[in-house]
Amino acid sequence: MNKNILYIFILALLYSACEKDDICLLPTTPKLILRFYNNTSQADVKAVDRLSVWAEGKDSISNYRSVTLDSIAIPLNTNTSETIYHFKMNSVDGNIANNTNNTITIKYTTEEVFVSRSCGFKTIFNNVTISSDNNWIQSFTPATLTTIDNETAAHVKIFH
Amino acid sequence: MLKYFISFYFALTALSGFSQADVKKDTIGYTSAYGLRIGVDISKPIMGMLDSNSSGIEFIADYRIAKKWYVAAEFGQQEETTKEDYTNSTAKGTFIKVGINYNAYQNWLDMTNEIYVGIRYGTSLFDQTLNSYTSNTGSEYFTANPITTPVTSTGLSAHWTEFVMGLKVETFKNLYLGFGFSYKIMLSLEHPKNFKTLYVPGFNRVFETETGFGFNYTISYTIPFVNK
């Protein structure tokens, strides 16, 4: 009888020694997901050629440096209430002279939400408003979002 | 020849009957102390000296109610700072655990050593302070500034059950050294608003499955009330 209790203790110890709360596996601060569509046939996804993305005053995001993609996920600055992004594209060739830039400004309020022991807090973005200088981007939708709290689907459709 | 043999047998029977009647009952029994045993967990002050994030004290007491059964309790207070990757929080409060121990050790003579198993009900009343935290941005591109304004939640409570096992060895007359291990299962636990109780005094770290572990090293002394 005593031996059985001992086994239960050892099993419980083994079971709990490497618990899942030691590693953060849950979603944390969501990125803003943009999906690019064809302006003339708005149901169709259209990749952007030689796209580079950087926030005001920073280097390009390493994953988005002259790449051809139809959707991107960009982080928002949690310390401020505004993030300005520059989107460079070049649909002609690799020459700098043919680059065109577009600026998108995202304004929001931040809210910290507790996730778990190992993940800590995430930031969600409320009352989001998006504006663009519409250079190579023709239009986008929606211009306002009540909240960005997940990464399950694209938040904004961009037409070009 | 057989006749004498049978007679001799009867004579022996009588002799044995006689000797049986003559034997006195052994009155030199072995008694052991029944009384209140009080003690202290020496691991907590030592841990407090080694680790600046931990300080506390735990007293233990038990009372022998039957040959193998003890009513047992632990109580004390604990302050513990939990440092995680994105949060730093402190839990501070008091706790009490009450239950029974069964001594599974078959003692020789008048010894009162114990290898025990037992159960406890535990409860704690505590405050939890979120000292600082940093938002987990999930990316290297923007780093979040730490927020260092402490937020305290007071009057939080926890209730749990414990399965304990351990041993107590009588080193000098009525003085015991002990080691105990416990496995705890949370019954109810209050969390601060928009945060989580990561540590409960008496329960220790609260794992994701709302279970916990504990151990103690104790010195205790029996105040003998009666020997029986």
Asked if residue A12 is part of any domain, the answer here is no
Mean pLDDT, chain A, integer: 87
Regions of chain B with pLDDT less than 70: 1-30
Of A28-32, A45-49, A90-94, B148-152, which gets the smallest average pLDDT? A90-94
State the residue range of the domain holding A41. 20-159
Residue of A9, A26, A60, A72 to mutate for B, most B C-beta atoms under 10 A: A9
The H or E element containing residue B157 is strand B151-172
Domain total of chain A: 1
Could you report the predicted ipTM of this complex, rounded to two decimals? 0.77
Tokens, residue B172: 């000098």
For chain B positions 88-127, those within 8 Å of chain A (CB to CB) are 104, 115, 117
pLDDT for position B105: 87
Instruction: Tell me the shortest Cα–Cα distance from B16 to chain A, in angstroms.
Output: 43
Asked if residue A137 is part of any domain, the answer here is yes
The number of C-beta contacts closer than 8 angstroms across A and B is 98
What does the alpha-carbon distance between residue A75 and residue B94 come to, in Å, rounded to a whole number?
Answer: 43
pLDDT for position B208: 87
pLDDT for position A156: 93
Nearest of A76, A50, A65 to residue A148 by alpha carbon = A76
What does the alpha-carbon distance between residue A4 and residue A76 come to, in Å, rounded to a whole number?
Answer: 54
CATH code of B33-227, in short, is 2.40.160.20
Where do the structural domains in chain B lie, given as residue ranges? 33-227
Asked if residue A10 is part of any domain, the answer here is no
pLDDT tens per residue, range A116-148 = 999 999 999 999 999 999 889 999 989 999 999
CB-based contacts of B200: which residues, under 8 Å, 6+ apart? B91, B93, B95, B124, B126, B158, B160, B189, B206, B212
- Per DSSP, the three-state class of B164 is strand
Asked if residue A39 is part of any domain, the answer here is yes
What does the alpha-carbon distance between residue B80 and residue B201 come to, in Å, rounded to a whole number?
Answer: 8
Residues A136, A156 contacting (CB under 8 angstroms): no
> Which residues of chain B neighbour A20 with C-beta distances below 8 Å?
208
Please count the other Cβ atoms lying within 10 Å of the Cβ belonging to residue A139.
14
pLDDT for position B15: 47
CA A53 to chain centroid, in Å, comes to 12
Asked if residue A1 is part of any domain, the answer here is no
